[in-house]
Amino acid sequence: MNGNGNGHRRAGAQTSVAEAEANQTGAAQRVRADALPEFTRYRDEGCDFHPSCLTCPLPRCRYDEPGGVRALLNLGRDREILHLRRRQGLPVETLAQRYGVSRRTVFRILQRGKP
């Protein structure tokens, strides 16, 4: 039975890959409309950051990360700032100029990175 309650398929309704294959082979088994994802065709359209989700260089999807792409890109910058300050002892002013941020931003990064 489908969503309209009469057991008949609506005109123009989408079919899953498994259902289409079952129809071609003559199999009598009916496939649920909410079949497993491996039986569904997905379009990989990406986003405005990268054209394909499957080859995206981001560690997490920009839509899954609070703060989006900016937050993901800032993680690498913040790690570098912490490393340069701790290992090389660079002054805050130098780090701020090198990364194009304010001194206050560098201090926030250093504060968040304390063990």
Q: Which of 72, 68, 43, 36 is nearest to 57 (CA)?
A: 72
The string of pLDDT tens digits covering residues 10-27 is: 444 455 555 555 556 555
Using a 10 angstrom Cβ sphere, with 0-12 exposed, 13-18 middle and 19 or more buried, the burial of residue 106 is buried
The string of pLDDT tens digits covering residues 93-108 is: 999 999 999 999 999 9
Which residues lie below 8 Å from residue 105, measured CB to CB, with a gap of 6+?
A: 96
Torsion of CA 31, 34, 38, 42, to 10 degrees: 120
- Cα angle 80, 46, 31; round to 5: 130
The string of pLDDT tens digits covering residues 25-75 is: 555 567 666 666 666 777 888 888 889 988 988 888 888 878 888 887 888
pTM of the model: 0.49
Domain ranges of the chain: 68-112
